[in-house]
């Protein structure tokens, strides 16, 4: 089956051909020729040769009139509180258009969304939650606060997402949930993870913080597990500075979301007291106003990033020693960033030198992502989550020892990964330049 770009329905190959034709026909022709000429100059830019990417990518405009309009509307309101706030109502209505889930609750961050999900899922002392070791620490903060135990499973070499076979190996009678992190906006294997969750009666939480607008086999990310979590932090596809959403279709968990992020109180029953315990993770109307406006942009942003990332894969092509970002042919990866792997045995340089040469060519790149898998961070190694202590361990509710936890593929991914920035302001021409840079640097250092 040919690789497909879900955004257009065209095959990736057709897409490249079409974009190349557009380059040749349009005003881009001369700059494309320049990029080709630069690429044929085998001398690295690092050594004084011509740059493969002659100019930086155009700066994207992330907000403007739609956000201003919402904020102005908000300023006419008497209350800026979220409950029954018009901006919040509008934001959630628009959210449901891209992620049609019955229950949706806005909150203060992706970390908050994940903590709320964990509370709603009923995770308690000693309960194990299996997740990815390559993620933002916000994925597991809520688990630890609920006195649960994060268990890190290993990852698939090319997608950087949970390996369902390793998840299965780590399931114990204490396992209560899986948090599937769609890293870089690349969908996890939700068919396999859902099958495991169903078989072992686990709650499947989607960490879609990096995956706004992504699709798994055509279905919106967030609609495949039991609870979905999104981030609106500044670096994400859409933002309101900081914020998040937690959502569910499940009648067991959905009704708990609001109170799990709002001090335990059920606002549909004023004066109803506190049957649950939670902290204050509320979003306010100013954030909701910006969020609502940003939701009008999300599909275009997701589609463009999907197109550009897929184009980068096609345009780099097969290069010995490089493993490109692997995306299932029927999925839409929305490339929070593009991540490829470098095999040190195939080159006469190390990763740092390769990245230096690539950056000199004008490619926006850096080595790796987080420094080490999460469980190798000092706070995990010392089991020092609460004033240097971990009550769950002291109470004998877990035998977890993070100093002995192994995820070899995750280690290798972080050691060999090279990250390329993708953003929706980039042009196809720019991506062709980046691809030329990768090929040129790889050719130069080939062993």
Ligand X SMILES: Cc1ncc(COP(=O)(O)O)c(C=O)c1O
421-440: contacts with ligand X (CB under 6 A) = none
Residue 310 binds to ligand X (criterion: CB under 6 A): no
Whole-number Å distance between alpha carbons of 101 and 88: 16
Residue 287 binds to ligand X (criterion: CB under 6 A): no
Residue 134 binds to ligand X (criterion: CB under 6 A): no
Name the minimum Å distance from CB 135 to ligand X: 5
Whole-number Å distance between alpha carbons of 12 and 1: 11
Name the minimum Å distance from CB 141 to ligand X: 8
- Secondary structure of residue 442 in the 3-state scheme: helix
Instruction: Show the tokens assigned to 367.
Output: 């080595």
With contacts defined by CB under 6 A, name the span among 106-114, 152-160, 163-171, 361-369 that binds ligand X.
106-114
List Cβ neighbours of 158 (8 Å cut-off, separation of 6 or more).
323, 324, 325, 326, 341
Whole-number Å distance between alpha carbons of 226 and 247: 9
Q: Binding residue for ligand X (CB under 6 A) from 139, 159, 249, 294? A: 139
Residue 206 binds to ligand X (criterion: CB under 6 A): no
71-90: contacts with ligand X (CB under 6 A) = none
Name the minimum Å distance from CB 356 to ligand X: 26
Whole-number Å distance between alpha carbons of 119 and 127: 12
Q: Binding residue for ligand X (CB under 6 A) from 133, 138, 220, 309? A: 138
CB 440 within 8 A of CB 52: yes
DSSP assignments along 376-400, one per residue: GSHHHHTT-TBTTB-HHHHTTS---
CB 207 within 8 A of CB 231: no
Instruction: Show the tokens assigned to 265.
Output: 């109180």
Identity of the residue, 236 or 376, whose beta carbon is nearer to ligand X in the bound complex: 236
**For 373, phi and psi rounded to 5 degrees?**
-55, 145
165-194: contacts with ligand X (CB under 6 A) = 181
Name the minimum Å distance from CB 179 to ligand X: 9
Q: Binding residue for ligand X (CB under 6 A) from 19, 109, 294, 416? A: 109
- Secondary structure of residue 302 in the 3-state scheme: helix
With contacts defined by CB under 6 A, name the span among 121-129, 155-163, 207-215, 439-447 that binds ligand X.
207-215
Q: Binding residue for ligand X (CB under 6 A) from 209, 246, 365, 442? A: 209
Whole-number Å distance between alpha carbons of 201 and 121: 12
Residue 136 binds to ligand X (criterion: CB under 6 A): yes
Q: For residue 358, give the H/E element and its range.
A: helix 351-360
Identity of the residue, 246 or 431, whose beta carbon is nearer to ligand X in the bound complex: 246
With contacts defined by CB under 6 A, name the span among 206-214, 253-261, 303-311, 393-401 that binds ligand X.
206-214
CB 236 within 8 A of CB 209: yes
The residues that bridge with 274 in the sheet, in sequence order, are 265
List Cβ neighbours of 329 (8 Å cut-off, separation of 6 or more).
1, 2, 3, 4
With contacts defined by CB under 6 A, name the span among 96-104, 109-117, 159-167, 289-297 that binds ligand X.
109-117
Residue 210 binds to ligand X (criterion: CB under 6 A): yes
Question: Closest Cα partner for 342 from 334, 331, 353, 351?
Answer: 351
Name the minimum Å distance from CB 444 to ligand X: 34
With contacts defined by CB under 6 A, name the span among 120-128, 135-143, 318-326, 376-384 that binds ligand X.
135-143
With contacts defined by CB under 6 A, name the span among 105-113, 122-130, 304-312, 415-423 that binds ligand X.
105-113
Instruction: Show the tokens assigned to 419.
Output: 């990250």
Residue 135 binds to ligand X (criterion: CB under 6 A): yes
Q: Binding residue for ligand X (CB under 6 A) from 127, 163, 206, 207? A: 207
Residue 233 binds to ligand X (criterion: CB under 6 A): yes
Whole-number Å distance between alpha carbons of 322 and 360: 19
First to last CA, the chain: 33
Q: Binding residue for ligand X (CB under 6 A) from 88, 111, 239, 249? A: 111
Q: Binding residue for ligand X (CB under 6 A) from 213, 244, 362, 364? A: 244
Name the minimum Å distance from CB 374 to ligand X: 11
With contacts defined by CB under 6 A, name the span among 59-67, 81-89, 130-138, 279-287 that binds ligand X.
130-138
- Helix spans in 59-189 (H): 65-75, 86-98, 110-120, 138-145, 164-169
Query: Which residues form the interface with ligand X (CB under 6 A)?
Result: 109-111, 135-136, 138-139, 181, 207, 209-210, 231, 233, 244
């Amino acid at each position: 089956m040919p690789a497909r770009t879900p955004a257009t329905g065209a095959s990736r190959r057709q897409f490249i051909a079409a974009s190349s034709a557009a380059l040749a026909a349009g005003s881009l022709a001369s700059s494309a020729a320049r990029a080709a000429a630069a690429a044929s100059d085998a001398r690295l830019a690092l050594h004084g040769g011509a740059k493969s990417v002659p100019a930086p990518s155009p700066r994207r405009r992330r907000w403007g009139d739609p956000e201003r309009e919402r904020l102005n509307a908000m300023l006419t309101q008497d209350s800026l509180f979220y409950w029954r706030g018009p901006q919040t109502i509008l934001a959630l209505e628009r959210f449901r258009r891209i992620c049609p889930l019955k229950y949706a609750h806005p909150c203060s961050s992706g970390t908050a969304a994940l903590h709320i999900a964990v509370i709603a899922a009923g995770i308690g002392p000693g309960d194990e939650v299996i997740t990815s070791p390559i993620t933002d620490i916000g994925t597991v903060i809520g688990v630890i606060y609920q006195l649960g135990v994060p268990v890190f499973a290993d990852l698939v070499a090319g997608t950087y997402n949970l390996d369902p076979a390793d998840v299965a190996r780590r399931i114990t009678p204490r396992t209560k949930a899986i948090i599937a992190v769609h890293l870089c906006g690349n969908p996890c294997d939700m068919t396999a993870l859902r099958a495991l969750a169903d078989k072992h009666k686990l709650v499947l939480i989607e960490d879609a913080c990096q995956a706004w607008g992504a699709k798994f086999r055509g279905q919106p990310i967030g609609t495949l597990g039991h609870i979905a979590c999104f981030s609106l932090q500044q670096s994400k596809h859409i933002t309101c500075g900081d914020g998040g959403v937690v959502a569910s279709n499940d009648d067991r968990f959905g009704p708990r979301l609001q109170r799990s992020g709002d001090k335990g109180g059920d606002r549909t029953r004023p004066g109803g007291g506190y049957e649950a315990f939670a902290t204050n993770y509320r979003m306010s109307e100013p954030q909701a106003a910006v969020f609502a406006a940003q939701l009008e942009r999300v599909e275009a942003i997701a589609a463009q990033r999907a197109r550009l990332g897929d184009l980068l894969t096609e345009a780099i092509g097969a290069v010995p020693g490089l493993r490109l970002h692997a995306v299932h042919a029927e999925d839409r990866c929305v490339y929070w960033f593009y991540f490829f792997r470098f095999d040190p045995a195939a080159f006469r340089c190390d990763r740092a030198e390769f990245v230096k040469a690539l950056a000199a060519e004008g490619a926006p790149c850096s080595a790796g992502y987080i420094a080490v898998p999460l469980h190798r961070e000092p706070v995990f190694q010392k089991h020092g989550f609460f004033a240097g202590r971990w009550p769950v361990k002291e109470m004998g509710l877990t035998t977890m020892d993070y100093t002995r936890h192994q995820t070899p593929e995750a280690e290798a991914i972080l050691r060999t990964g090279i990250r390329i920035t993708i953003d929706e302001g980039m042009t196809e021409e720019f991506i062709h330049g980046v691809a030329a840079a990768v090929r040129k640097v790889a050719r130069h250092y080939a062993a």
